[in-house]
Amino acid sequence: MEHLEFKDRLIRIEQLLLANKEVLTLEEACQYTGISRSYMYKLTSSEKIPYCKPRGKLIYFEREKLNSWLLNKFNP
């Protein structure tokens, strides 16, 4: 039982740390938005979601732009 409590606490700490980041990785953006990894790739390849690919390989998302996109996407 104690092990589960500890794991739950770690998950909450991770979520708090994620909430303070301004730039998110693909995995973090998926977790933040609730969008699957495959659908997120589809959105980026069709340029339907704001993202950055500074070195041509890894994809990053600015939290502020993601929030704006989410609000505009789901509230026409």
**Residue with token string 């998926």:** 30
Q: Per-residue pLDDT tens for 34-46?
A: 999 999 999 999 9
The model's pTM is 0.72
23-25/60-62 β-pairing:
antiparallel
User: What would the pLDDT profile of 54-74 be if each residue is shown by its tens digit?
Assistant: 988 899 999 999 999 999 876
